[in-house]
Amino acid sequence: MSILVYAEHDNNQLKADTLKTVAAAQQIGGDIDVLVAGENCQAVVEQAAKISGVRKVLAADNAAYANQLAENVSLLVTELAGDYDHILATALTTGKNFMPRVAAVLDVAQVSDIIAVESANTFVRPIYAGNAIATVESQDSKKVITVRATAFDAVATDGSAEVVNLDQATDAQTSSHVSDEFTESERPDLGAANVVISGGRGMQNGDNFKLLEGIADKLGAAIGASRAAVDAGFVPNDMQVGQTGKIVAPDLYIAVGISGAIQHLAGMKDSKVIVAINKDPEAPIFQVADYGLEADLFDALPELEGKL
């Protein structure tokens, strides 16, 4: 059996989540090749070649893939698909964007956001915002799968895979990239951080999120937010944790001023230890918290920062 794993990257840096997707591929079992599609992405190709257990790295370095537009990347992956039984991508925005196109062209169903591999054709995935866990068997000849990275442990980076340069460039010419607007952050990536501290509507405004920064710095934590905080305009939407935002599973998740709606819990309830700080003793977040502190966050946060 052979498996193609699509590498998530920004043309400079391979995303650590790809190492977790390779881990899922190893559980399926077979020869694993990694595809790096981008422009001027040699650094990523080198990093991908070091992923443990990878047979080949396919490098498609071309202007057509500069921004990994779904129209172009899906054509490339579909072309390569003939040689593979399984095609895997991480369930991040790039993979979620182009993979269903690949599945549709190959005329197969896609299995989205798997959290466990039971066999080469049986997978486990959450449904209904994580309130139910489905075990599904794919009856298609080819399996097109996206992987929830937080559910797998990253593989090592001590490999030395062969690099194969692909020279085909497929440009659908139906879409073009206009601009990017990325949120600057020196903190760890929300999806990869070991500690996450999130604020909700209880923070009252964007300025008060500064109260989380000192604590985040002391713990090496990423800062997240609930949908209520994002919708209220306190913080940008890429900080949102939940069913419709990012799914995180850090060692420690600290929820501050977050009531704990189903939608939010879907994004963080697999965290190892959950701490809730909320002044409402009835807040549903206390039902999933390992440690709950009933307190006004405006008193608790400065004290916590001071004592860490």
Partner 1 sequence: MKILVPIKRVIDYNVKVRVKADQSNVDLANVKMAINPFCEIAVEEAIRLKEAGVATEVIAVSIGEKSCQEQLRTALALGADRAIQIDTDQEVESLNVAKLLQKVVDEEQPGLVILGKQSIDSDNNQTGQMLAALTGMPQGTFASKVEVADNKVAVTREVDGGLQTVALNLPAIVTTDLRLNEPRYAKLPDIMKAKRKPLDVKSTADFGIDLTPRTKLLKVTPPAEREAGIKVESIDELINKLKTEAKVIS
**What phi, psi does 304 have (nearest 5°)?**
-60, -45
Q: Find the binder of partner 1 among 7, 59, 80, 108 (CB under 8 A).
A: 108
Q: Find the binder of partner 1 among 111, 216, 235, 256 (CB under 8 A).
A: 111
Q: Per CB under 8 A, which of residues 9..48 are in contact with partner 1? A: 10
Alpha carbon distance 301, 277 (integer Å): 9
Q: Which is nearer to partner 1, 103 or 161 (CB)?
A: 103
Q: Which is nearer to partner 1, 32 or 203 (CB)?
A: 203
> Interface with partner 1 includes 217 (CB under 8 A)?
no
Instruction: List, in order, residues 6 or more apart from 298 with CB less than 8 Å away.
Output: 208, 211
Q: Which is nearer to partner 1, 167 or 173 (CB)?
A: 173
Alpha carbon distance 123, 163 (integer Å): 30
Q: Which is nearer to partner 1, 104 or 166 (CB)?
A: 104
- The dihedral through the CA atoms of 130, 100, 89, 91 has a sign that is negative
Cβ count near 132 (within 10 Å):
9
- The dihedral through the CA atoms of 81, 83, 86, 87 has a sign that is negative
Q: Which of 236, 254, 243 is nearest to 295 (CA)?
A: 254
Give the pair of three-digit tokens for residue 303: 């004290």
- Give the interface segment with partner 1, choosing from 18-26, 35-43, 204-212, 272-280 (CB under 8 A): 272-280
> Interface with partner 1 includes 168 (CB under 8 A)?
no
Q: Which of 4, 3, 11, 13 is nearest to 37 (CA)?
A: 11
* Contact flags string 226-255 toward partner 1, x per CB under 8 A: -x--xx----xxx----xx-x----xx---
Q: Which is nearer to partner 1, 59 or 75 (CB)?
A: 75
Q: Per CB under 8 A, which of residues 44..103 are in contact with partner 1? A: 67, 69-71, 74, 92-94, 96-103
> Interface with partner 1 includes 294 (CB under 8 A)?
yes
Q: Assess contact for 36 and 60: CB atoms under 8 A.
A: yes
Q: Find the binder of partner 1 among 82, 153, 167, 174 (CB under 8 A).
A: 174
Centroid of chain to Cα 125: 15
Q: Which is nearer to partner 1, 52 or 244 (CB)?
A: 244
Please work out the total of residues on this chain that contact partner 1, with binding judged by CB under 8 A. 89
Q: Per CB under 8 A, which of residues 121..150 are in contact with partner 1? A: 122, 125-140
Q: Which is nearer to partner 1, 204 or 237 (CB)?
A: 237
* Contact flags string 177-216 toward partner 1, x per CB under 8 A: xxxxxxx-------x---x---------------------
What burial class does residue 10 get, using C-beta atoms within 10 Å of its C-beta: 0-12 exposed, 13-18 middle, 19+ buried? Answer: middle
